[in-house]
Structure 1
């Protein structure tokens, strides 16, 4: 089954990254901070998925 949570986060990250690159946003903007948060959420999700029950 597809991991929709991961796909949704990755999609949002790609959209934000494209916006940041297009507009040349600085690192302390809300969009860039959200990208950092999404990276953290993806890492946590991946760790949870790889952990055996």
Structure 2
């Protein structure tokens, strides 16, 4: 259910700020409001652990 939308005229549909209500919709947020990406963090950690394992 769409509760509201902000900046639609300025940014268009894909980039507007949508306020929605959902139920039974599990999600994983992968980027925070500061631009930090969980994908980059996990990749960096994984590369470090891999280097430890193979002795590099």
What TM-score comes out, normalization by structure 1 length? Answer: 0.35
Which structure features the higher share of helix residues?
1
Which structure features the higher share of strand residues?
2
> Taking CA–CA contacts closer than 8 Å with sequence separation of 6 or more, which of the two structures ends up with the larger relative contact order?
1
Structure whose CA Rg is larger? 2
What TM-score comes out, normalization by structure 2 length? Answer: 0.34
